[in-house]
Amino acid sequence: MHQNKIFYNYFVEIIKTFLLILFGLSLIALTVRAVNFLDLIVENGYPTSIYFLYSFLNLFGLAPKFIPLSFLIAIFLFIYKHLENSEFLILWTSGVKKIKLVNLFLISSLFVLIFYLIFSIFLTPAMMNKSRQLLAKDEFNSILPTLKTNEFSNSFKNLIFFVEKKVENKIENIFVHDNGNYLRKFTPDVSNDKITNIIAKSGIVNNKELFLVDGQIISFNKTDNKNNIVKFDQISINLTDINTTQIKQPKIQETSTHILLGCVIKSNFNNKFCNDDSKKEIVPNLNRRLSLPLYIPVIALLCSLLILKSKKKYFNKSYIFFYSFSLLVMIELSIKYTGLNYLTQIIFIFLPFILMIFLYLFLNRTFLKEFKTT
């Protein structure tokens, strides 16, 4: 009973350490990416509340990337700590077998594995898709933040803006390029097949409305190759119903797992993702969601090598951490090649099971040898 309580406390300690490290690494990564998020939100004229919500939703996309590394650090620190304070030595001298500790590490890794699967299968694609929809459906507050001096702004579909000077809501030397049909109402030629440019000396931005003064509208008809020039003293362009350039269709990483599985297993070519080119991306994405977590128990077994009595240098803490970290790097590098052919796919799926069996048998056999020599 006392032994079970000790093992339970160990389990809680490992999981707590893992969650703290995961939270820390994810927060650091989110802080770094938050600068890019801020540019994205501001340049497209969205309110500040959207920035915080968008950042929060993207946290679910960042966290799974750090789960294996966080577990590696947590289990390594746990074993190293209790070896240094001789707590494990007390357990072993009191009759607790080392393999029971290994089993505890495996149970902890299974908890982390399930935790990873919940994120990768359900939470991550759902939240990433929600973050994209957030920008796709939420209206921008004003076009003013999208206008940067001496830079071309393409935040809106088929429209490009350029301003030479901006002071508060006043702008000077403005150029507007319309590759669609949004500005055709300002030209005498109402055909759809044309390009329209507006040049103005000054203007004022009032939320979603642009007032331009002293300029001209130049339209080019692609059908008859004719230019039309219309001069104006003042015009008002309302951009309320204009679309931003944000992607409205979900990417593969934002698509639900059952749709991607249907794409591969059932060859559901009615879905827009299911084609020969996209399958090369779908298979690695599915492996990241479903197969990569199978390597988490392997990490636990590799770190278990720390409790061996061996004095060989390739079993010391530095080497063991290097083996474990190298495995994570190898997984990341090889996962993108799993969509090339069936052989790489089979190897990636079955390799963790082979490694688990080999490492567990090796540890058990070594522990038995140590027991016989004592």
Under a CB-based contact definition with an 8 Å cutoff, are residues 227 and 218 in contact?
yes
Report how far residue 218's alpha carbon sits from residue 177's, in angstroms, rounded to the nearest whole number.
10
The reported pLDDT for the residue numbered 139 is 53
Q: Which of 27, 15, 93, 16 is nearest to 56 (CA)?
A: 27
Angle among Cα 55, 56, 60 to the nearest 5 degrees reads: 105
Q: What is the pLDDT of residue 243?
A: 62
Closest CA to 53 of 34, 39, 73: 34
pLDDT score for 295: 97
**Which pLDDT value is given to residue 34?**
81
Transcribe 40-100 into DSSP letters. HHHHTT--HHHHHHHHHHHHHHHHHHHHHHHHHHHHHHHHHHHHHTTHHHHHHHTT--HHH
Residue 280 has which token pair?
């090369």
Starting at the edge strand found earlier in the chain, the sheet holding 170-178 runs 152-156, 159-167, 170-178, 194-206, 209-221, 226-238
d(Cα 195, Cα 179) in Å, to the nearest integer? 5
List of residues 6+ apart from 297 with CB closer than 8 A: 106, 109, 110, 113, 352, 356
Q: DSSP letter at 294?
A: G
- φ/ψ of 353, rounded to 5, equals -65, -40
In this structure, what is the dihedral angle of CA atoms 135, 139, 141, 146, given to the nearest 10 degrees? 50
For 150, phi and psi rounded to 5 degrees?
Answer: 60, 30
Per-residue pLDDT tens listing for the chain (374 residues): 578 899 999 999 999 999 999 999 999 999 888 877 776 666 556 677 777 888 899 899 999 999 999 999 999 999 999 999 999 988 888 888 999 999 999 999 999 999 999 999 999 999 998 887 777 655 555 677 667 788 887 777 778 889 998 887 889 999 988 876 777 676 665 566 677 888 999 998 887 788 899 999 888 777 677 778 888 888 888 877 666 655 556 778 888 898 888 888 765 545 566 766 677 788 899 999 999 999 999 999 999 999 998 778 888 899 999 999 999 999 999 998 887 888 898 999 999 999 999 999 999 999 998 877 76
CA dist., res. 45 & res. 146, Å (int): 6
Answer yes or no: are the C-beta atoms of 172 and 201 closer than 8 Å: yes
